[in-house]
Amino acid sequence: MSGTEATREALGERISYAQSWEDPRILQAGLRVGSEDDVLSICASGDNSFALAIAGARSVTAIDLSAPQIALAKLKLVAATQFDLERFRSFLGVDQMGQRVFLYHELRPHLDEATRDFWDEREVWIRTGLTACGKFEGYLSLFREKMLPLVHRRKTIDAFLACETLEEQHAFFHKRWDSWRWRALFRIFFSRAVMARRGRSRAQFAHVEGSVSDSFLERTEHVMTALPIDDNPFLQWILTGTVPDLNRGQPYFSEEGHRKLKAAADRIRFVHEDLLAHFKSSPPGTYSAFNLSDVPEYLSEEETEALLRAVVGCARPGARVAYWNLLVPRCRPDSMKDVLERDTALGAKLIREDRAFVYGAFQVETVR
């Protein structure tokens, strides 16, 4: 099965990710997007494409092979432009205001036909909150609601969230959190078999080797002991289903970010197309920055090289390229070192700062 075929199988007809699980802070640190940049960004939930627009990009092309992901991002963007911050937050499901279906019907006249048709059939997702409607969010919610209570009581979780320093977090984790029951149930729930059935498609494991659960257990210990919990909306949502301080969540949930996204809406376009085909049809110099998400995760080494060569073909000199590795090591091959420079030091530094923590590596590369 080719990378594109595996991707199509993985995407299916539903929303895989309702939120971004890729930290926008390290993405911006790698791409350094500014007012002269034309950015190509994997759409997914839309969140990081919006974050790059908020950072000041001249244009953002949000591309995805999944029509449902495009429909989700379009709905979010229209909501950002039509609602004030309070109603925007409520519509996406991050507070208790409710009346989300009522708000949706306010938005309907502003949606294109395909987006409107998609969401007209899925009002139940809107009612329960868009930020929880993805397959992966459902998987994490299952962990929070069914598995985590078998390990820790809510007061233990609250005590961990109340830690004020990294020293407190480190001590709490090793003394009260990291029990044999925690490790055992974690390894079961985040095993390859369970993830392929409930969290990700089997196609997404096509190139994966080694223990999946051990990798995630190690990354989870890092984020719980080495990064401040009060500044980590990703871990907060996994443990509680909420983000206490939305100003530390996705950039568009802050007052400034919401205002900037509204202003940038006309500079964001959506493309429903295969990524490689889009690159091949784009003239040289089209883009100056590329957010490839974790696309190489689905590809063989040969397919990854073909993709990166297509990136170079439509890039400007000095264009920056960033992407994550989840479980499959992928980066610029040595055969491309004459056209693509890899910054291993910056990538290694940024992955240690990644609050989303599920990924194993972050690649930062520059077109020579």
Going from the C-alpha of 205 to that of each of 14, 61, 192, 295, the distances in angstroms are: 19, 28, 8, 13
* pLDDT at residue number 43: 98
pLDDT at residue 167 tops 90: yes
* pLDDT at residue number 194: 81
* Mean pLDDT for the chain overall: 92
The domains located in the chain, with CATH, are: 3-67+254-367 (3.40.50.150), 135-248 (no CATH)
* pLDDT at residue number 203: 53
CA angle 109, 246, 177 (to 5 degrees): 130
d(CA 322, CA 23): 12
Least confident of 97-101, 133-137, 141-145, 292-296: 97-101
Global pTM exceeds 0.85: yes
pLDDT in tens, 270-325: 999 999 999 999 999 999 999 999 999 999 999 999 999 999 999 999 999 999 99
d(CA 144, CA 126): 21
| Cβ neighbours of 167 (radius 10 Å) | 10
Give the confidence band of 212 by pLDDT, cuts at 50, 70, 90.
confident
Give the confidence band of 201 by pLDDT, cuts at 50, 70, 90.
low
